[in-house]
C-alpha cells in the first residue's frame, strides 16, 4: 500500500476556503460556476485556487453530487472477432482493460507526445492528481529517462511494456532478438546472402534488439554483414520508402530486406513496385509486428507476430502484483513467432 504514499499533499477545498476567507460552499459555487456569488468574492476564490493549484477531487465530487464527471466512449472492437485487425495500441488497451475489469479496476488512458519536453510534468500531474495506483508505460515512453526517473521519485508502481531494461524497473518484453535471428536464418536458408536490414528509431529499444538479432542470425548462418546494407529508418512507412530508395539503387542490390517493422517493410514494397522490381522473385521483403497492413499489401508480407494483447494482459497482472506489494519474478517474456507469407522466396538466379 505504501508504494503509492508519496509525500505530495494536494490542496483541498478547505485549504482554498480558508485562504480566501470564505466557506467551502462558496468555493464549491465558484468551482461549479454557480450564480449568486459576488464578483469580488469570486475573484478572491479564483486567486486562492490559482495560488494553491487546487483541483477538485473527482471521487469526492462523484460521491457527493449527482454528476459523475465521467462519460463513456463505447465502440465495437473488431479484434474481438477478427483476428489481429487492430493496431498496437488498441490491442494493448484491450489486454489491459480486460485484466483491469477482472480486478475491479478502471483504466485511464493517457495518450501523449513523447517529443514534447512537457511530457514529464504531464505524467507527474497525472500520477499526483489522479491518485493512480500504478501505471503501464509503452515504448517509446518507456525508454525516456526523465519520465522513468520522475516515476521512481514519486514511488509509483510501474510496469514497462518494453524490452529495454532500466535498473530497478520491471518490464514485460518479447523475444525480439531471438526471433529476429530466426527470421534472418530463415532468409539465409532460402539462399539469400545479401540481406539488408532497416533499423528502427533509436529511441525504440525493441528495435535495437531486432538489429542485434539480425546480426546474430547473419553470423549463425555464416554470412558477413555489409555495413552498407544496414540502414537507419525511424519506424515510419515514409522512412522505409527513403531507405528503400537508397538500397534499391545500389549497384550490388540486396536480394532480401528485413525491416525492423511492418510499416517500413511496406515502404520497401511500395518502392519496389514503383521501380518494377518484382517481390518476391527479385527481392524478398520481411517485416516485424504482423500489423493488419502486413496482410493487406500485395504481396502479403512475411513478418513476425507479436502477441500484443497477451503482452498487455501479462503486464497488467504484474502491475497488480506490484501494487499489492508482492515481489516480482524479474523480467517476463512473451514469445513472438514467424509468419511466412508471400513476400519471401528463394533468390532467383
Partner DNA sequence: CGGCAGCCTGACAGCGTTGTCAAGAAACAC
Partner DNA sequence: GTGTTTCTTGACAACGCTGTCAGGCTGCCG
| Chosen from DNA, a copy of itself, none, partner binding at 23 (C-beta under 5 to 8 Å by type) | DNA
Q: What is the largest CA-CA distance in the chain?
A: 87
CB of 295 to a copy of itself, least distance (A): 7
What is the C-alpha to C-alpha distance for residues 38 and 214, in angstroms, rounded to an integer? 70
Gap between the Cα atoms of 293 and 71, Å rounded:
32
Nearest-angstrom CA–CA distance, 181 and 214: 5
| Residue whose CB is less far from DNA, 25 or 149 | 25
CA-based torsion, 317, 318, 324, 327: positive or negative: positive
User: Given the complex with a copy of itself, which of 106 and 349 has the nearer CB atom?
Assistant: 106
In the complex, what is the shortest distance from the CB of residue 128 to a copy of itself, in angstroms, rounded to a whole number?
12
Nearest to a copy of itself of 220, 278 (CB atom): 278
If the CB atoms of residues 56 and 191 are measured against DNA, the closer one turns out to be 56
Q: Choose among DNA, a copy of itself, none what residue 13 binds, the Cβ cut-off being 5 to 8 Å by kind.
A: DNA
Looking at the Cβ atoms of 41 and 270, the one nearer to DNA is 41
Which option in DNA, a copy of itself, none does residue 344 bind, with CB closer than 5 to 8 A by kind?
Answer: none
The SS3 call for residue 77 is coil
By a kind-dependent CB cut-off of 5 to 8 A, residue 297 interacts, out of a copy of itself, DNA, none, with a copy of itself
Give the number of other CB atoms < 10 A from CB of residue 220: 13
What does the alpha-carbon distance between residue 133 and residue 3 come to, in Å, rounded to a whole number? 9
Q: Could you give the count of Cα atoms lying within 13 Å of 171 in the half-sphere of its Cβ?
A: 22
Residues 346 and 191: beta-carbon distance below 8 Å: yes
Residues interacting with DNA, by CB under 7 A?
1, 10, 12-14, 21-29, 31-32, 35-38, 40-41, 54-57, 60-61, 63-67
Of 7 and 252, nearer to DNA (C-beta) is 7
**Residue 28, contacted partner among a copy of itself, DNA, none, CB below 5-8 A by kind:** DNA
- Smallest distance from the beta carbon of 107 to DNA, in angstroms? 19
Q: Which residues pair with 173 in a beta bridge?
A: 333
- Shortest Cβ distance from residue 120 to a copy of itself (Å)? 11
Which residue, 128 or 178, is less far from a copy of itself as judged by CB?
A: 128
Rounded least distance, CB 8 to DNA, Å:
11
Beta bridge partners of 256: 195, 284
Q: Where are the beta strands (DSSP E) in 191-335?
A: 195-199, 230-232, 256-259, 284-286, 303-305, 332-334
If contact means CB under 5 to 8 A according to the sort of partner, which of a copy of itself, DNA, none does residue 72 touch? a copy of itself
Instruction: Count other Cβ atoms within 10 Å, centred on residue 344.
Output: 25
Q: Nearer Cβ to a copy of itself, position 59 or 220?
A: 59
Residue 132: contacted member of a copy of itself, DNA, none (CB under 5 to 8 Å, by partner type): a copy of itself
Tell whether the torsion through CA atoms of 338, 344, 346 and 347 is positive or negative.
negative
CB of 230 to DNA, least distance (A): 54
Residue closest to 311 by CA, chosen among 288, 336, 290, 287: 336
The residue assigned the cell 510501474 is 158
The nearest distance, CB 74 to DNA, in angstroms, is 24
Q: What minimum distance in Å lies between the beta carbon of 221 and a copy of itself?
A: 30
**Residue that has been written with the C-alpha cell 489481429 in this structure:** 84
Amino acid at each position: 500500500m505504501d508504494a503509492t504514499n508519496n509525500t505530495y499533499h494536494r490542496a483541498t477545498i478547505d485549504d482554498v476556503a480558508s485562504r480566501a476567507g470564505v466557506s467551502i460552499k462558496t468555493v464549491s459555487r465558484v468551482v461549479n460556476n454557480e450564480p449568486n456569488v459576488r464578483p469580488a468574492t469570486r475573484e478572491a476564490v479564483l486567486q486562492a485556487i490559482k495560488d494553491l493549484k487546487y483541483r477538485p477531487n473527482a471521487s469526492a465530487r462523484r460521491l457527493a453530487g449527482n454528476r459523475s464527471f465521467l462519460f463513456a466512449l463505447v465502440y465495437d472492437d473488431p479484434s474481438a472477432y477478427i483476428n489481429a485487425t487492430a493496431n498496437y495500441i488498441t490491442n494493448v488497451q484491450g489486454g489491459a482493460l480486460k485484466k483491469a475489469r477482472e480486478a475491479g479496476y478502471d483504466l485511464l488512458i493517457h495518450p501523449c507526445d513523447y517529443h514534447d519536453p512537457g511530457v514529464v510534468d504531464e505524467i507527474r500531474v497525472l500520477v499526483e492528481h489522479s491518485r493512480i495506483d500504478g501505471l503501464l508505460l509503452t515504448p517509446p515512453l518507456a525508454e525516456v529517462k526523465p519520465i522513468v526517473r520522475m516515476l521512481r521519485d514519486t514511488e509509483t508502481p510501474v510496469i514497462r511494456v518494453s524490452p529495454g531494461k532500466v535498473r530497478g524497473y520491471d518490464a514485460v518484453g518479447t523475444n525480439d532478438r531471438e526471433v529476429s535471428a530466426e527470421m534472418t536464418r530463415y532468409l539465409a536458408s532460402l539462399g539469400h546472402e545479401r540481406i539488408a536490414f532497416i533499423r528502427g528509431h533509436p529511441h525504440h529499444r525493441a528495435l535495437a534488439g531486432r538489429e542485434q538479432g539480425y546480426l546474430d542470425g547473419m553470423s549463425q548462418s555464416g554470412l558477413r554483414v555489409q555495413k552498407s546494407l544496414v540502414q537507419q529508418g525511424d519506424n515510419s512507412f515514409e522512412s522505409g520508402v527513403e531507405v528503400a530508395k537508397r538500397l534499391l539503387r545500389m549497384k550490388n542490390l540486396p536480394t532480401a530486406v528485413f525491416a525492423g517493422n511492418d510499416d517500413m517493410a511496406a515502404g520497401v514494397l511500395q518502392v519496389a513496385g514503383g521501380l518494377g522490381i518484382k517481390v518476391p522473385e527479385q527481392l524478398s521483403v520481411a517485416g516485424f509486428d504482423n500489423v493488419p497492413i502486413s496482410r493487406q499489401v500485395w504481396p502479403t508480407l512475411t513478418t513476425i507476430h507479436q502477441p500484443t494483447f497477451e503482452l498487455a494482459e501479462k503486464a497488467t497482472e504484474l502491475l497488480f502484483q506490484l501494487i499489492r506489494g508482492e515481489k516480482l519474478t524479474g523480467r517476463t517474456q512473451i514469445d513472438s513467432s514467424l509468419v511466412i507469407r508471400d513476400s519471401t522466396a528463394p533468390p532467383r538466379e
